[in-house]
């Protein structure tokens, strides 16, 4: 089996993505996660940056299992000796055993950006690589803008690679920095470079044409033995080549060894971990690892998948640590309800009157604006209540929410609740940062004595969607609340013309689901 090295640049290229800002501790956590996962090379950033210098200082005392930490920088400045160049000195000070430096390939950048001569640029590349190599550092050379430079002047582009190789570069990485190359062009150029150079070739693609993954795989097919990219495709502009589907495609589809089988089963876990630390929403349609990657909604699809999963799934989701989801909707028909009921330990058959009753109820609720594939906890409650298989934990008498704004002073909110629990009337009130927070606090105050398990849960997300924009402020809204405890995460939903009422529906579903899943009677 052929082997390809994976080189992760999430901590450097990924951090340049809009909305991402890693602290030193964030970088350490991601680095350790990727090392445990088995990524061979993890690029830590620029040691010339104070934050990254602090990161390298802390990581110098750490031991990374199966991984090498890489420092990143540029070639020496024009007119400066390599030994006196501050950037190169700081690369050595990082104590990284492997260093990646980039240099200019394109004459456009040499003349218009660096404002130097083509010959001086070649010396900059050669001097920098040789200086680092003589200091017993493994040097990878990133040929920046290579495909654009090769298109502009092939002979000069090849001379830049020759300068790096002769000076001691261990790997030569061809970079599609602008992200505009096409797979056929990448494949053709990779084959040309492999025929002319002894050093192994790597690929580094950006995704500006939506082809970062395709170009990376085309490069591997043409003989590249290293792929650079970021987890979840984070990066500047449209992002970098996404290592998540790249790893899965190499391992599963192309029979290329790049990660262990055990690590592959953690691919979804790693994808979610990095999105969480990056404070970025994990995309539901992320290939292989997204929530929707193996989700089935249409009735025809569900019916077929129940008979043979291969009918609408290109791989077994468990190979990458994901799972199959059968979405409940009016499009799914009775097959979806039966599948969901089975997962809830409810025995329903297609001809069972209870199945028809549940299907009709579902259609009515979705006509009102419910969207159960995003709120499976609410659906489970609806189904079990319809089948009388869940307890009534509490019953609302009334609630009132008061919002007060006095001049320029801070807005205050108070919620007052009357609720019946086990034939006892509880009358509580609580302040909050807003109406939903106040209702949440008042409800907890009323229920905590009877159900202390509720202290284990918390609300982790709150979303509001307007269902009929033309209705303006009178529009019906859909509220989605995500809750979690130390074991699970679940989502609930409410729909109403009144945003407070919709929020209340989603809120009580969240509380009831927690009690139901904990088997509280």
- Give per-residue pLDDT as tens, 57-75: 999 888 888 899 999 999 9
The long-range contacts involving 393-396, CB below 8 angstroms and separated by at least 24 positions, are 393/421, 393/447, 393/451, 393/511, 393/512, 393/515, 393/520, 394/419, 394/420, 394/421, 394/446, 394/447, 394/450, 394/508, 395/419, 395/420, 395/421, 396/420, 396/508
Residue 329: per-residue pLDDT = 53
- Give per-residue pLDDT as tens, 307-342: 676 777 888 999 999 887 666 554 455 555 666 666
Distance CA 186, CA 188 (A): 6
Average pLDDT of the segment spanning 351-364 = 73
- Give per-residue pLDDT as tens, 171-222: 999 999 999 999 999 999 999 999 999 999 999 999 999 999 999 999 999 9
210: left (phi over 0), alpha (psi -120 to 50) or beta: left
Residue 334: per-residue pLDDT = 55
Q: What is the span of the domain harbouring residue 190? A: 2-259
Residue 346: per-residue pLDDT = 65
Characterize the bridge pairing of strands 458-466 and 477-484: antiparallel
Query: Does 349 have pLDDT greater than 70?
Result: no
Average pLDDT of the segment spanning 229-251 = 97
Residue 333: per-residue pLDDT = 53
Domain presence at residue 184: yes
Confidence of residue 478 (pLDDT cuts 50, 70, 90): confident
Residue 376: per-residue pLDDT = 78
Residue 238: per-residue pLDDT = 97
Confidence of residue 306 (pLDDT cuts 50, 70, 90): low
144 closest CA partner among 80, 79, 73 = 73
Distance CA 378, CA 86 (A): 59
Query: Does 31 have pLDDT greater than 60?
Result: yes
**Residues facing residue 412 across a β-bridge:** 404
Confidence of residue 397 (pLDDT cuts 50, 70, 90): very high
Query: Does 151 have pLDDT greater than 80?
Result: yes
Distance CA 84, CA 77 (A): 10
Domain presence at residue 273: no
Is 86 within 8 Å of 74 (Cβ atoms)? no
Distance CA 320, CA 252 (A): 10
Can you spell out the DSSP letters for 236-297?
Answer: STT-B-BHHHHHHIIIIIS-EESS-HHHHTTHHHHHHHHHHHTT-PPPTT-TTTSTTTTEE-
34 closest CA partner among 218, 202, 274 = 274
Element of type H or E holding 442: helix 435-447
Question: Given strand 477-484, what is the order of strands in its sheet?
Answer: 458-466, 477-484, 489-496
Residue 345: per-residue pLDDT = 62
Of 93-97, 250-254, 389-393, the range with the lowest mean pLDDT is 389-393
Domain presence at residue 352: no
Confidence of residue 517 (pLDDT cuts 50, 70, 90): confident
Residue 330: per-residue pLDDT = 46
**Residues facing residue 6 across a β-bridge:** 227
Distance CA 487, CA 511 (A): 15
**Residues facing residue 104 across a β-bridge:** 144
- Residue 234 sits at φ, ψ, to 5 deg, of -65, 145
Domain presence at residue 177: yes
Residue 123: per-residue pLDDT = 97
Domain presence at residue 218: yes
DSSP state of 479: E
Confidence of residue 418 (pLDDT cuts 50, 70, 90): very high
How many domains, in total, are found in the chain? 1
CATH number for position 101: 3.20.20.70
Domain presence at residue 458: no
Residue 57, classified by CB atoms within 10 Å of its CB into exposed (0-12), middle (13-18) or buried (19+), is middle
Cα Rg of the chain, angstroms: 29
Q: What is the pTM of this model?
A: 0.71
Characterize the bridge pairing of strands 477-484 and 489-496: antiparallel
Domain presence at residue 99: yes
What average pLDDT is seen over the chain?
Answer: 89
Distance CA 121, CA 161 (A): 12
Domain presence at residue 396: no
Is 129 within 8 Å of 171 (Cβ atoms)? no
Of 142-146, 248-252, 331-335, 473-477, the range with the lowest mean pLDDT is 331-335
């Amino acid at each position: 089996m052929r082997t390809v090295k994976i080189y992760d640049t999430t901590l450097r290229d990924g951090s340049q993505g809009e909305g991402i800002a890693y602290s030193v501790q964030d970088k350490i956590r991601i680095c350790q996660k990727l090392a445990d996962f088995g990524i061979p090379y993890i690029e830590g950033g620029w040691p010339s940056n104070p934050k990254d210098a602090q990161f390298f200082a802390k990581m110098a005392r750490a031991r990374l299992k199966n991984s090498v930490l890489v420092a990143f920088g540029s070639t020496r400045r024009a007119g400066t000796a390599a030994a006196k160049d501050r950037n190169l000195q700081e690369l050595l000070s990082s104590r990284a055993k492997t260093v990646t430096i980039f240099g200019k390939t394109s004459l456009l950048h040499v003349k218009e950006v660096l404002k130097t001569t083509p010959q001086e640029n070649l010396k900059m590349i050669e001097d920098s690589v040789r200086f680092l190599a003589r200091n017993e550092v493994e040097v990878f050379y990133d040929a920046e803008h290579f495909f654009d430079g090769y298109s502009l002047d092939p002979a000069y582009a090849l001379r830049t690679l020759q300068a790096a190789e002769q000076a001691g570069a261990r790997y030569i990485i061809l970079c599609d920095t602008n992200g505009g190359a096409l797979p056929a062009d990448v494949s053709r150029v990779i084959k040309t470079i492999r025929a002319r150079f002894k050093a192994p070739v790597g690929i580094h693609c950006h995704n500006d044409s939506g082809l970062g993954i395709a170009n990376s795989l085309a490069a591997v097919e043409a003989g590249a033995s290293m792929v650079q990219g970021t987890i979840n495709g984070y990066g500047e502009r449209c992002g970098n080549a996404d290592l998540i589907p790249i790893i899965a495609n190499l391992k599963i589809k192309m029979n290329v060894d790049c990660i262990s089988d055990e690590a592959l089963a953690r691919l979804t876990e790693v994808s979610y971990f990095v999105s969480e630390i990056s404070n970025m929403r994990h995309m539901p349609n992320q290939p292989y690892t997204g929530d929707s990657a193996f989700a089935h909604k249409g009735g025809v699809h569900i019916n077929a998948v129940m008979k043979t999963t291969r009918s609408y799934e290109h791989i077994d989701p468990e190979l990458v640590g994901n799972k199959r989801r059968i979405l409940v909707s009016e499009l799914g028909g009775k097959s979806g309800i039966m599948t969901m009921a089975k997962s809830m330990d409810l025995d329903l058959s297609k001809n069972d009157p209870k199945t028809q009753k549940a299907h009709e109820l579902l259609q009515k609720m979705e006509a009102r604006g419910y969207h159960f594939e995003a709120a499976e906890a609410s659906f489970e409650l609806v189904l079990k209540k319809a089948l009388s298989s869940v307890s009534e934990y509490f019953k609302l008498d009334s609630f009132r929410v008061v919002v007060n704004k006095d001049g320029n002073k801070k807005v205050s909110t108070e919620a007052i609740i009357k609720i019946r629990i086990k034939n006892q009337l509880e009358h509580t009130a609580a302040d909050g940062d807003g109406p939903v927070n106040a209702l949440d606090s008042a409800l907890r105050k009323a229920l905590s004595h009877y159900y202390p398990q509720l202290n284990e849960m918390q609300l982790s997300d709150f979303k509001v969607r307007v269902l009929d924009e033309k209705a303006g402020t009178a529009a019906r809204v859909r509220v989605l609340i995500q809750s979690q405890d130390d074991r699970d995460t679940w989502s609930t939903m409410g729909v109403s013309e009144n945003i407070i009422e919709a929020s209340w529906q989603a809120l009580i579903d969240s509380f009831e689901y927690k009690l139901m899943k904990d088997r509280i009677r």
